[in-house]
Amino acid sequence: MNNDDFRQWSRRAADWGADYRNTLRGRPVRPRVKPGDILGSIEASPPEAAEPMDAIFADFEQKIVPGMTHWQHPRFFAYFPANAAPVSVVAEYLVSAMAAQCMLWQTSPAATELETRTVDWMRQALGLPDGFSGVIQDSASSATLAAVLTMRERALNWQGNKKGLAGQPRLRIYSSDQVHTSIDRAIWVSGIGEDNLVRIPVAGRFRTMDTAALEAAIVADRQAGMLPAGIVACVGGTSTGGTDDITGVAAVAERHGLYLHVDAAWAGSAMICPEYRHFWAGVEKADSIVFNPHKWLGAQFDCSIQFLRDPESHVKTLAIKPDYLKTHGHDVIINYSEWSVPLGRRFRALKLWFLLRAHGLENLRNMIRNHVAWSESLAARLAMEPDFEIVSETMLSLFSFRHLAASSGVDPDEHNLRLVNAINDDGRIYLTQTRVDGRVAIRFQAGQFETTAADVDAAFDVVTEIARGLA
């Protein structure tokens, strides 16, 4: 591909992207395909000779797009959003075109310094104190792994990386059962082992970790000769929005000298609205906080910010400095590869910079406030329906519900799984299920960047219409 071809096809791709976004409402949110359909349509062996771009692009439109779930669809109410505001897509075009490797200051000075600035902009937007600095990770999973590794190293007096875990005291990490499974994976990868992830009981509307039980577990483990290392607290858990008392958990962590990581991957975006900050009151006492601008704020995936109260411990855990990675003559610069598990780094700050400037915080606040209000309204409407029950009340824009089968002989879990599958097969909206207290419930969250009140009203119509058809 020469430069003229590159220009032509870049324009074609940009036009396609604009047309795609313009037609999303008319597409089913989830594709109507069966496993293997796409695989069977693609040649089994790679081509020996070059193929024309016209043919490649046509296959993209005819074979790939029909098999995609449309995460930017305004009626995508499943999981959590993975928004890509159009302005962030434009920024990603530029990042892709430059194709810079941003592991060190010297490999892309502007990328490093823009990351420092945009992370601090987000610190201010969320109301975090001046002492916090941070880094853009690829996802909350990587940020959590980095936090767990730091817990491990601090508890072992920085000997884990050098000596390994053999012969060391048995480490313990504490969380509720509301945290994301990325915490489980971080425990695996760090070598601590899932048997040493201690699940603390929860209670109340937001399934909040019992701080008395947390402290009792720490004391009991110490008395048994084990080594408590850290706590992972949750603000806006994936299943039902589980949210811990950060002030209470932080007090326990401080009394016992434990590292505290707060996972606010989804809900953290809402903290740009001062009226929602009570959900993470006390967060300034955390050692590490993660939230994902690529979820609710509109920065195209991947873009996850990890804030750190003491970056020195974090860098001491992760930094490796062979001679070929040193930037000689500049002792005060930041090399963000020393703040991350991967060495290679993309220029993630550019899309966040574009996004914040193009929309401004107040427009982003209004979007989040609308999503919360519309979800609360939908939950209230469903609660008034005779055959529906609200299982978990709204946490910001997330709640869960269940439909009551007309026949007493129908298994309620099977009935609700049939309902959510029928809704998703219909294609007008997309929902996912969870389990609450062992029973199936259907999740709803509003968070897509271009969702409107009419889209949420449509969700009510679709859910009640299809539920009546199953009765």
> pLDDT tens digits, residue range 278-300?
999 999 999 999 999 999 999 99
Measure Cα distances from 66 to 28, 32, 70 in Å. Answer: 10, 8, 10
| Contact partners, residue 43, CB within 8 Å, separation at least 6 | none
For the cut 50, the answer to whether the pLDDT of residue 454 exceeds it is: yes
What is the pLDDT, as a whole number, of residue 321? 65
Where is pLDDT greater, at 339 or 271? 271
Mean pLDDT computed over 306-313? 92
- Report the relative pairing of strands 227-234 and 133-137 from DSSP bridges: unpaired
Neighbouring-strand partners of residue 235: 243
pLDDT tens per residue, range 8-65: 999 999 999 999 999 999 999 999 888 999 989 999 999 999 999 999 999 999 999 9
| Integer-rounded Cα radius of gyration of the chain | 24
Mean pLDDT, to the nearest integer, of 89-111? 87
The predicted structure's pLDDT at residue 107: 83
Q: Mean pLDDT over residues 382-388, rounded?
A: 93
- Average pLDDT of the chain is 91
Taking phi first (over 0 means left), then psi (-120 to 50 degrees means alpha), and beta for anything else, what does residue 420 get? alpha
For the segment 450-456, the average pLDDT, to the nearest whole number, is 95
Closest by CA to 69, choosing from 13, 26, 18, 28, is 28
More confident residue, 164 or 329: 164
Give the model confidence (pLDDT) of 316-332 as tens digits. 888 876 544 454 444 56
- Yes or no: say if 107 and 345 are a contact pair by the CB < 8 Å rule: no
- The answer for residues whose C-beta is within 8 angstroms of residue 341's C-beta and 6 or more apart is 142, 145, 146, 149, 318
390-402 average pLDDT score: 95
Task: Report yes or no: 137 and 340 within 8 Å, Cβ to Cβ.
Answer: yes
* Cis peptide, bond prior to residue 302, ω within 30 of zero: yes
What DSSP designation does 440 have? E
Instruction: Average the pLDDT over 224-239 and give the result.
Output: 94
Which pLDDT value is given to residue 217? 96
Which residues have CB under 8 Å from 215's CB, separation 6+?
252, 255, 256
Cβ 427 vs Cβ 29: under 8 Å: yes
Query: Could you tell me if 396 and 276 are in contact, meaning their C-beta atoms sit under 8 angstroms apart?
Result: yes
Q: What percent of the chain has pLDDT over 90?
A: 73
Q: What is the helix (H) or strand (E) element at residue 133, kind and residue range?
A: strand 133-137
> Residues 404-443: pLDDT tens digits?
987 767 889 999 999 999 999 999 999 999 999 889 999 9
Identify the CA nearest to 239 among candidates 458, 95, 443, 35: 443
The lowest-confidence range among 138-147, 178-187, 254-263 is 178-187
Quote the tokens at residue 241: 């929005």
Query: Which H or E element spans position 427?
Result: none
Q: Give the amino acid at 334.
A: I
| % of the chain with per-residue pLDDT over 70 | 97
